[in-house]
Structure 1
Amino acid sequence: MDRAQRRRETIAATLTAMGLCAGVWLIEHSPREELPPQPSPEQAALPSEGPTADPGTQAMVPLPPSEPVRVRIPAIEVDAAVMPLGLEEDGSLEVPPQEAANLTGWYEGGATPGTRGTAIVAGHVDSAAGPSVFYGLGSLKKGNTVAVDRADGLTAEFEVHAIEVYDRDAFPDDRVYGPSSRAEIRLITCGGGYSRSDGYLGNVVVYGHLTAITVTPEARPAAAAHPPG
């Protein structure tokens, strides 16, 4: 087993535990009324395609590495900072602070958004205070845009091509974290039903692929002097 595969399996075995770290808000509310939106079956990848297939779009030339600083998802009014995430001592993925409702985290051991490979961005669905940054993730539709502003002053724009929900005990690590020959992104949060004793029972995963590269409006002049070619 190679190093990259071990890393993916480590993340996959532990990232789904995010479902155990959220849901406090629902203890004081009715889950039937307050559950976050879940993706419909129509938003899943077609069986003949798989989550990385998109024959209608030509793959873009990936960017060089640069850390993400902000993620914007207009369809669900997300405009949030990004912090780097590593692994805990037990091998589990770190998560953003629970009290930081409008903060996402990028797994810094993987690809940076816009580079070749699979970039991972995680966010809480809720906290004790109420909905958090990725509460509306399950309501996204195919064709929606995810924009990631990078430290180099460029913005990588991804088109959503699948939104799926998985049970915690059947999380498809290869499907979610597997390698890609193009620049892709995965947005991950809790979902898949809720139990007062166990918290969220699964995860919502959004799949996207790079479709555009622009200069971030607030970018430094040095970045604007080198627009994407």
Structure 2
Amino acid sequence: MARVVRHRSRRRLHLTATRRRTLMLIGCVLALAAPMIVGAAALVGRRVDIDAGDATWIVPHSIDLSAASGSPDAPPTRLKISKLGVDTPLEDLRMDGAGVLESPKAYGEAGWFTGGTYPGDAGPAVLAGHVDSKTGPAVFFRLHELAPGDLVDVQRGDGWLTFRVTASEHYAKDRFPSAKVYGPTPVPELRLITCGGSFDQSKHSYRDNLVVYAVLA
């Protein structure tokens, strides 16, 4: 009888040790997994923050720039948005001394940010235009009408590149998401920017910006 008791005691000791090792192993796995989980969340956060609209990195893009003939550095010269009746030459736009993107000089024309991406290259090409003027509607007056699936054409060199709209968003000017609009993207994208929201009479300007996001079709 004493031998049976000792045998059972050894089994209890063995099971206790096994449970300890199992718990220690689980603890190690969780400790290793935690940084990976946090890292993955941070990575997804960056992608969502950088990318616009649809998660374009999920869908592989076949990028064909053969339509943009001439020099590979040929700047964009014209913008067409058939849905809105827009057909405009593109001015060259730069950042001013305060780091703000300057506006096109002509209210009836849009402009391209020359310090950014060339349309059709990987990254976000930025085009901007006025929504109206003291005399009436400007080139991007109807930009808010664009919806996912609509097409935007940009001339570069002797050819045209077509972009498909993925999203349209409003931002308060004092909370403009520069990283999201100007940040790098893995595929060619387009940003169309104008003013929006309510009009601030004291500052003689609109309080918001409207940004339309598009990807190379």
Q: Which amino acid aligns with 2:210?
A: V
**Bigger share in helix:** 2
* 3-state DSSP of counterpart to 1:194: strand
3-state SS of 1:169 partner: helix
- 1:155-166 correspondence to structure 2 within 5 Å: 155-166=160-171
Rounded Cα–Cα distance in structure 2 between residues aligned with 1:50 and 1:96: 24
Is 1:130 matched up with 2:136?
Answer: yes
* Equivalent residue pairs, number: 162
C-alpha offsets along residues 206-227 of structure 1, whole Å, 9 cap, x if unaligned?
000001xxxxxxxxxxxxxxxx
Q: Paired residue for 2:62, among 60, 66, 71?
A: 60
The runs of 4+ residues in structure 1 deviating greater than 6 Å are none
- Choose the corresponding residue for 1:89, options 76, 93, 97: 97
Distance 1:96 1:102, change over 3 A: same
Give the whole-Å Cα distance in 2 for the aligned partners of 1:56 and 1:105: 30
Aligned pairs for 1:23-102 (under 5 A) are 50-51=52-53, 53-54=55-56, 58-61=60-63, 63=65, 64-97=72-105, 100-102=106-108
Q: 2 CA distance for matches of 1:146 and 1:180?
A: 19
Structure 2 contact 57–187 (Cα < 8 Å) conserved: no
User: TM-score, normalised to structure 1's length?
Assistant: 0.65
Relative contact order (alpha carbons < 8 A, sep ≥ 6): 1 or 2 greater?
1
TM-superposed deviation, 1:52: 5.1
Q: 1:120 aligns with which of 106, 126, 133?
A: 126
Secondary structure at 1:175's aligned position in 2? helix
Asked whether 1:145 is paired with 2:151, we answer yes
Counterpart of 2:196? 191
Change (3 A) 1:56 1:145: farther
Within the alignment, does 1:171 sit opposite 2:176 as a pair? yes
User: In structure 1, what is the Cα distance between the partners aligned to 2:123 and 2:131?
Assistant: 25
User: Does the 8 Å contact 1:65/1:115 carry over to 2?
Assistant: no
> Rg: which structure is higher?
2
- Is contact 1:54–1:161 with CA below 8 Å preserved after alignment? no
Asked if 2 retains the 8 angstrom alpha-carbon contact of 1:117 and 1:182, the reply is yes
User: Structure 1 residues 162, 114: closer, same or farther in 2, change over 3 A?
Assistant: same
**What is the Cα deviation at residue 69 of structure 1?**
0.7
Residue identity (%) = 40
Structure 1 counterpart SS, 2:100: coil
1:192 Cα deviation from its structure 2 partner: 2.1
Asked whether the equivalents of residues 85 and 105 of structure 1 are also in contact (C-alpha less than 8 Å), the reply is yes
Per the TM alignment, residue 55 of structure 1 is displaced from its structure 2 partner at its CA by 6.9
Deviations 1:41-95 (A, max 9, x none): xxxxx99x85252478541326343211100001111111101112223333222
1:104 to 110, 116, 121: 110
